[in-house]
Structure 1
Amino acid sequence: MAMLRRPLPCLPALALSLMLSAPAIGQELTLELPYQATPPPSVDDRPTFELPSLVSHDAQAVSGEETRLGRAWLRQFRAHAPLWQDPITEHYLASLVARLLPYSHVSGIDPIVTLVASERLNAFAVPGGIIGVNAGLFAFAEGEAPLASVLAHELGHLSQNHYARGQQRAEQTRIPAMAAMLAGMLLAAGGGGDAGIAAAMGSQAALYQDQLAYSRRFEREADRLGLQTLANAGYEPQAMVEMFRTMQRMAALQGGNPPEFLLTHPVSESRISDAQARVAQLPVARHHRDDTEYQMIRARALLAIHDQDPRQALTRLERDGAKPAARRYATALVDAQAGRVDDALSALDALARQLPDLALLPATAAEVALDAGRVDDAIRRGRHQLRLMPGYAPAGLVLGEALLQRDPGEAYRVLRDLAAQQPENPQVFTLLAEAAGRSGHRAWGHLARAEQLQLTGRIDRGIEQLDLAKEIAKTEGEPNVLARIEQRHEAFVGYRKTMEEFE
């Protein structure tokens, strides 16, 4: 689960036929569920957990239709894209989005953040509140404000319903455009670049360029709103201008091959000049906190990118003037990867004492302990952190995984609560399925496995798991579980119908 066990892969471009077909099984995690002799609790004692839905219950600025399509889009994306599974970074990014959201004029959505295992500089926002960030964006954004500027710009597009407005002239192209967007994002994530998109999409290339690339007017609207969001949230709006200039320099150095972000968000000198003029008129509400936490997150991204030579990550952090605490954090991660676990834990514990408000420090130490096979230490650390910082999801995930090796029943309780907190997180349901099976909650285990499958785009496989759960529930006489299974079966059929619209 820890970042150090999941480096970024070097991936070839994906074929369009793969992208727009039914999700492939891929390298699926097979769960072995040794059903112990421990008797399961009675029906009345069996807990429930909230399950994800493709439809928002409070859609205002974003329509329910866009939410439905956006969530289905995400499931297709997860089925094929190279995902960077780093709970600490994902939690940080979700927190940053939540910090910007009140100032963004986006309402009625609960954003979902996904990380993409790609070195390319890119971020995207999909109708329905889906926000994706490549690891490469962290690598090129040297501070939190530049990263926040890209997110604020994307929120600007969502707040103005630019996607929906672009469809008004050709409503019949909505689904093909969403499918084209899916194909384009997957090709970009896989390394295909703009040429790969055009070659693979053939007749859909023009549609992709027309529907995914925003108009100049929309870009300026997103700039204006993004700059205001940054200023009101306490960030220097100048960071957006500097980030766009960085991307332009990258394009020049790469022989005119721009970052993926600029392919769909073209930047011109006049647009940058307009943004610069607006910056001069924007007072900043308050200066935001320092970048120490961000620099530690950036260290995680750089180490994931340079997993074959972590010294490159350390060198880059030093060259970019990262704070000593961030460099010590990165060094501790390198030590852990090299087997110097005691040194790593000692450094992380010292940093946690120095910076007690940074939740990622004790969570990282728990990850390091678990990766090193120090299960009891990981459990102790996870429990301690959750007593001090209840609700910190990365610590709950580490604790749940560690408890699977010691006390599956407690693991089930921890992960069930986490599933209620994060109903769109496939990692949580993967662990929950195993914990449920090992602790005697057999039907709930298959139900959780079904949720993990549908969240990653494998709806048919998920329905098969629901059928298994139903048979077990009938055999064991569990009417409450049966009712939930029937409810989810109906929902899954709806998910499948929506996803088929992209094929």
Structure 2
Amino acid sequence: MFGVYPAVQHHSAIATKKNVLRLRFMQILLATTLCCTSSICSELAVAQNLPTLGDTAREELSPLAERKLGEQIMNVVRRDPDYIDDGPVSEYLNRLGDKLLDASPDARGEQRYDFEFFAVRDPVLNAFAFPGGFIGFHSGLILASQSESELASVMGHEIGHVAQRHIARMLSSQKYDALIPLAALALAVLASRSSPDAAIALAAGGQGLAIQKQLNFSREAEREADRIGFQILRDSGFDANGMVSFFGRLQASTRNYNDNVPAYLRSHPLTSERIADIQTRVLDQRYKQIPDSLDFFLMKARIRVLQDPTIQGLLDSKLAFDLQMKSERVEDKIAAKYGLAFIALKQLDYLKADSLYSDAKKQVEKNPVLQPILTRSSVFSSLSIEIAIAEKKYDYAIREAEKSIEQLPLSRGLVYQYVGALLAAQKVGQAESYLRDQLVLYRQDAKLQNLLAKVYEIQGKQALQHIALAEAYAIQANWRAAMQQLNIARLEKDAQYYEQSVIDAREREWSVLHKEELVDEKRKKIGI
């Protein structure tokens, strides 16, 4: 919720009304979640028995509680229709983020956050960080990035906010009565994506004075995040000038749209002082040209299509790709062909999608510098699998997925596609065996559990289906739903000794967590 970038595009009154209604619903959810956080933080801090090291932020909000808070917010965000749940996009962002963090491991902090980077569907330039290492990017900001170094600079800046625990430090200065305004601030950031008017209303409804104090605090946090972000960018081998160029364009957009930007956004100014500070740091660095990866261009093409998948949106994207085809840069041409193939897939023109994808692949094969992308890019290979499944060429899709997974064994998106291809080919037993093996390695993957539940449903294994659903809910810390699924599983006719044993074990484990959830709900009702 820090590092907010100014809005440069506005939506219709209809879109504004839709977002106001949705955001009011989200406000209730987040305010409810955050109202009880003081008790959660206190209990978790006691349970950890952490030593006091003179950091007031540590005393107010433990790293564990901070992560829990972030997960609670993300549970709401993931249900938002504008959350981009796309394997290739998610993998690209997280791979880029991991590259930055691997070069600067101290940025994870002593709490060793497992960062998660994600995208939301909105043309407004914006990015934000939630507590505990969750960092979001608007599709508009990704498309506005003219180089991979520019996108990495924004990512580094947001990592800096998390690494410096700015949210915990904010709360330490405001005490727990700042939690409700903090919820309103988080919502205002989300509201600013599509509706400046909604953002103003939410901010005003969240105790404006407290919010203003929080934002005044964050001015120094912005400068601190700049410095941390610059160091991360430099250490990971990206062009530090990317931060200067991107911030410069944002500053220009602020001047152009200043009258329409909400006040709380203007209190995060992209000042000349901040840009000058980064420019001074760049001057001390030896210049080296950093080429952008082809994956960067492919991911941008994919984001452009996902940003607006309506009929008109696809037509607009096609015009943009047709114009991009005239570029002299080979990466632009390949990405444009990729984007046009993705559009054809969305329009159910599978033959055209296959033809365009093949053309893009041939262009890559002709270029010795770009050839390695064919074996290193899940963004590229995943589209081929998507098209094959759509064309009902299931055996081909399975072979392509197996080959890609062999080359990219850590790709979660390819794993999901592979299971999808197996299920489409009615190879349910093979899908079950594969999912079980994957869950040994990635037990905390809710998508795998949901896929396994789907497999069990096809097989008619009802008890196991509901156990898998319970596991998925538990991963998301939704203990009420998890316990409900266990109760359903227990009553199924095919729940034998093994299934009952699993249910009993999970029930003992989760009942404590469920009781804590009920206590929190009771506190909310009585206003504690």
TM-score class, shorter-chain normalisation, is: 0.7 to 0.9
Who is 2:27 aligned against?
20
Give, in whole Å, the separation in 1 of the partners of 2:470 and 2:401: 27
Contact (CA 8 Å) 1:223, 1:275: kept in 2 or not? yes
Rounded to whole Å, the distance in 1 between the matches of 2:192 and 2:524 is: 18
Q: Find out whether 1:343 has 2:355 as its counterpart.
A: yes
**Using the alignment, how far apart are the partners of 1:159 and 1:411 within structure 2?**
39
Rg (Cα) greater in structure: 2
Query: Against the structure 1 CA distance between its residues 457 and 181, is the aligned structure 2 distance closer, same or farther, given a 3 Å change threshold?
Result: farther
Aligned to 1:331: 340
Q: Which amino acid aligns with 2:71?
A: R
Q: What amino acid sits opposite 1:363 in the alignment? A: S
- The aligned counterpart of 1:77 is 77
How many angstroms does 1:501 deviate by? 8.2
Q: Provide the residue aligned with 1:292 in structure 2.
A: 294
CA distance in 2, matches of 1:350, 1:131: 36
- Aligned pair in 2 of structure 1 residues 264, 68: CA closer, same or farther (>3 Å)? farther
Q: Could you give the per-residue CA deviations for residues 35-83 of structure 1, whole angstroms, max 9, x where no partner exists?
A: xxxxxxxxxxxxxxxxxxx99x9x9997112112111121122234621
Assess if the C-alpha contact under 8 Å between 2:297 and 2:335 holds in 1: yes
Q: Write the letter of the residue equivalent to 1:291.
A: S
C-alpha separation in 1, matches of 2:430 and 2:249: 49
Instruction: Tell me, in whole angstroms, the C-alpha distance in 2 between the residues paired with 1:269 and 1:180.
Output: 29
Q: Whole-Å Cα distance in 2 between the matches of residues 425 and 352 of structure 1? A: 33
Counterparts of 1:142 and 1:228, CA distance in 2: 21
Query: What is the identity, as a one-letter code, of the residue corresponding to 1:350?
Result: K
C-alpha contact 1:459 1:492 (8 A) present in aligned 2: yes
TM-score (normalizing by structure 2) = 0.77
Partner of residue 311 from structure 1, selected from 277, 302, 318: 318
Query: In structure 1, what residue type is equivalent to 2:146?
Result: E
Aligned position for 1:301: 303
Count of matched residue pairs: 461
Distance change (3 Å), C-alpha of 1:78 and 1:234 = same
Runs (5+) with no aligned partner, structure 2? 1-13, 31-43, 52-57, 366-370
1:363 aligns with 2:382: yes
Q: One-letter code of the match for 1:20?
A: Q
Structure 2 CA distance for aligned equivalents of residues 413 and 92 of structure 1: 28
Change (3 A) 1:262 1:201: closer
Mapped partners of 2:262, 2:150: distance in 1: 15
- Relative to structure 1, the CA distance from residue 96 to residue 219 in structure 2 (aligned partners, 3 Å threshold; closer, same or farther) is same
Q: Distance between the aligned counterparts of 2:356 and 2:523, measured in 1?
A: 49
Distance 1:257 1:316 in 2: 31
Tell me if the contact between 2:128 and 2:137 (Cα under 8 Å) persists in the aligned partners: yes
Instruction: Decide whether aligned partners of structure 1 residues 120 and 296 sit closer, same or farther in structure 2, where only a CA change above 3 A counts.
Output: same
Matches within 5 A, 1:148-297: 148-189=152-193, 191-193=194-196, 195-206=197-208, 207-211=210-214, 215-254=218-257, 256-258=259-261, 265-283=268-286, 288-297=290-299
- My pick for the range that moved more, 480-489 or 413-422, is 413-422
Per-residue deviation, 1:299: 0.6
**Partner residue of 1:415 out of 427, 435, 445:** 435
- What corresponds to 1:48 in structure 2? none
Gaps spanning 5+ residues in structure 1: where? Answer: 1-8, 24-53
- In structure 2, C-alpha distance between the alignment counterparts of 1:121 and 1:114, rounded to whole Å: 15
The answer to whether the aligner puts 1:101 opposite 2:113 as a matched pair is no
Among 450, 455, 458, the residue aligned to 1:435 = 455
Q: CA deviation at 1:392?
A: 1.6
In structure 1, what is the Cα distance between the partners aligned to 2:100 and 2:227?
Answer: 15
What is the alpha-carbon distance in structure 1 between the residues aligned to residue 465 and residue 339 of structure 2? Answer: 37
More moved, 100-109 vs 86-95 = 100-109
Q: Distance in 1 between matches of 2:92 and 2:214?
A: 30
TM-score for the superposition, normalised by structure 1:
0.80
Instruction: Report the structure, 1 or 2, having the larger helix content.
Output: 2
Stretch deviating more after TM superposition (138-147 or 375-384)? 375-384
The 3 A distance-change label for structure 1 pair 254 and 169 is closer
Name the CA shift for 1:249/1:300 in 2 (closer, same or farther; >3 Å): same
Are 1:446 and 2:466 an aligned pair? yes
Q: Structure 1 255/267 Cα, relative in aligned 2: closer, same or farther at 3 Å?
A: closer
Structure 1 vs Structure 2 CA RMSD: 3.6
Residue in 2 aligned with 1:3?
none
Counterparts of 2:523 and 2:248, CA distance in 1: 38
Contact preservation (8 Å) 1:113, 1:131:
yes
1:115, distance to aligned residue in structure 2 (A): 2.1
Instruction: Report the secondary structure of 2:248's partner residue.
Output: helix
- Bigger relative contact order (CA 8 A; separation at least 6): 1
Over 3 Å counting, the alpha-carbon distance change for 1:106 and 1:282 in structure 2 is farther
Does residue 1:403 correspond to 2:422, yes or no?
A: yes
| Contact 1:427/1:452 (8 A) holds in 2 | yes
Compute the displacement of 1:110 (Å). 0.6
Answer whether contact 1:393 1:418 (CA < 8 A) is retained.
no
1:7-44 Cα distance to aligned partner (Å, 9 max, x none):
xx967313454113359xxxxxxxxxxxxxxxxxxxxx
State which of 410, 428, 436 in structure 2 corresponds to 1:391. Answer: 410
Instruction: Report if aligned partners of 2:82, 2:120 keep a CA contact under 8 Å in 1.
Output: yes
Larger mean CA deviation between 387-396 and 313-322 belongs to: 313-322
Letter of the structure 1 residue corresponding to residue 469 of structure 2: R
CA 1:142–1:417: 2 relative to 1, 3 Å = farther
